[in-house]
Chains A and B, each alone.
Chain A
Amino acid sequence: AQSVAQPEDQVNVAEGNPLTVKCTYSVSGNPYLFWYVQYPNRGLQFLLKYITGDNLVKGSYGFEAEFNKSQTSFHLKKPSALVSDSALYFCAVRAALYNQAGTALIFGKGTTLSVSS
Chain B
Amino acid sequence: NAGVTQTPKFQVLKTGQSMTLQCAQDMNHEYMSWYRQDPGMGLRLIHYSVGAGITDQGEVPNGYNVSRSTTEDFPLRLLSAAPSQTSVYFCASSQDGSGGYTFGSGTRLTVV
Contacts and interface: CB of A to CB of B under 8 A. Distances in A.
Interface of A: 6, 9, 32, 34, 36, 42-46, 49, 51, 90, 94, 97-110
16 contacts: A6-B42, A42-B105, A44-B103, A46-B102, A49-B100, A97-B48, A99-B56, A100-B56, A102-B48, A102-B50, A103-B31, A104-B45, A104-B58, A105-B33, A105-B101, A107-B44
B1 to A, nearest CB: 15
Contacts of B48: 97, 102, 104
Interface string B41-70: 111110011100010111000000000000
A51 B58 contact: no
B104 A102 contact: no
Interface stretch (B14-22, B74-82, B90-98): B90-98
Interface residues of B, number: 28
B30 to A, nearest CB: 9
Contacts of A9: 40
Given A43-B106, A49-B100, A105-B101, A98 B42 contact: no
B42 A109 contact: yes
Contacts of A105: 33, 43, 45, 92, 101
